[in-house]
Amino acid sequence: MSRSSTAVLTDAHGHRLSLGKKIGSGGEGDVFLVPKHPESVAKVYKSPPAAEHLRKLEAMVSIGRDHRELPSIAAWPTSLIRSERNREPIGFLMPKLLDVRDIHELYTPKDRSNHFPKADWGFLLHTTINCADAFEKIHQHGHVVGDVNQSNVVVGTDSCVRLIDCDSMGVRAATKFFPATPVGIDAYTPPEFQGQALHNVQRNQNHDCFGLAVLLFQLLFVGRHPYSGSPRAKTPHGQSGFTDAIRNGDFAYSLKSTGNLAPPPGVPTLDLVPKSVGALFERAFSRSTKRPTAAAWCSSLRSLESQIKTCPTYKGHKYPSQHSVCPWCKLVNKGGTEYFFTAANQFAAWTPEADEFHAILNDAQNDLHLVEVPILPTWRRTAVVPTPVRLTLPAKPEPRLPPFKASAVNRYVPDQPVVGPPELPPPPIAPKLPARPISSVLPELHLPPEPVPRSSDSHVLKRESRLAEWSVASLHVVAVMAWLFPLTIPVFVVYY
Chain segment 155-169, per-residue pLDDT in tens: 999 999 999 999 999
Tell which wins on pLDDT, 44 or 460: 44
Q: So what's the pLDDT on residue 464?
A: 65
The whole model's pTM is what? Answer: 0.70
Residues 184 and 151: their CA atoms lie apart, in Å, by 11
Range name among 90-94, 98-102, 221-225, 456-460 with the lowest pLDDT average: 456-460
Range name among 96-105, 309-318, 440-449 with the lowest pLDDT average: 440-449
Amino acid at 309: K
Tell which wins on pLDDT, 83 or 5: 83
Q: So what's the pLDDT on residue 396?
A: 54
Reported as a pLDDT band with limits 50, 70 and 90, residue 146 is: very high
Number of helices (H) and strands (E), helices first, in the chain?
A: 13, 18
pLDDT of 107 over the 70 cut? yes
Dihedral of alpha carbons 354, 359, 365, 370, sign: negative
pLDDT of 112 over the 70 cut? yes
What's CA 258's distance to the chain center, in Å? Answer: 30
Q: So what's the pLDDT on residue 87?
A: 80
pLDDT of 137 over the 50 cut? yes
Q: How far is CA 58 from CA 44, 55, 65, 175, in A?
A: 15, 5, 11, 13
pLDDT of 65 over the 60 cut? yes
Residues 453 and 468: their CA atoms lie apart, in Å, by 18
Reported as a pLDDT band with limits 50, 70 and 90, residue 201 is: confident
Reported as a pLDDT band with limits 50, 70 and 90, residue 348 is: very low
- Choose from 84-93, 233-242, 478-487 the range with maximum mean pLDDT: 84-93
Q: So what's the pLDDT on residue 256?
A: 84
Q: What are phi and psi of 282, to 5 degrees?
A: -60, -40
Q: So what's the pLDDT on residue 31?
A: 93
Contacts (Cβ under 8 Å, ≥6 apart) of 324: none
pLDDT of 388 over the 60 cut? no
Calculate helix-pair angle for 121-140, 205-220, nearest 10 degrees: 170
Amino acid at 32: F
Mean pLDDT confidence for 6-14? 71
pLDDT of 398 over the 60 cut? no
What would the 3-class secondary structure string for 293-324 be? CHHHHHHHHHHHHCCEEECCCCCCCEEECCCC
Residues 357 and 401: their CA atoms lie apart, in Å, by 27
Residues 108 and 198: their CA atoms lie apart, in Å, by 29
How confident is the prediction for the chain on average, in pLDDT? Answer: 79
Q: So what's the pLDDT on residue 460?
A: 55
Catalytic residues: 147
Q: How far is CA 334 from CA 109, 327, 359, 458, in A?
A: 19, 11, 22, 91
Q: So what's the pLDDT on residue 342?
A: 55
Q: So what's the pLDDT on residue 413?
A: 63
Q: How far is CA 50 from CA 76, 91, 113, 403, 443, in A?
A: 19, 12, 43, 49, 110
Range name among 14-23, 86-95, 222-231, 362-371 with the lowest pLDDT average: 362-371
Mean pLDDT confidence for 329-333? 91
Mean pLDDT confidence for 173-189? 92
| Stretch (H or E) spanning 210 | helix 205-220
Contact between 292 and 284 under an 8 Å Cβ cutoff? The reply is yes
pLDDT of 436 over the 80 cut? no
pLDDT in tens, 216-274: 999 999 999 999 988 877 655 445 577 888 988 899 999 987 778 889 888 999 999 99
Q: Judging by DSSP bridges, how do beta strands 100-102 and 89-95 pair with one another?
A: unpaired
Mean pLDDT confidence for 345-371? 49
Q: What count of other Cβ atoms lies within 10 Å of the Cβ of residue 220?
A: 22
Range name among 117-121, 140-144, 471-475 with the lowest pLDDT average: 471-475
Share of the chain above pLDDT 70, in %: 69
Contact between 317 and 345 under an 8 Å Cβ cutoff? The reply is no
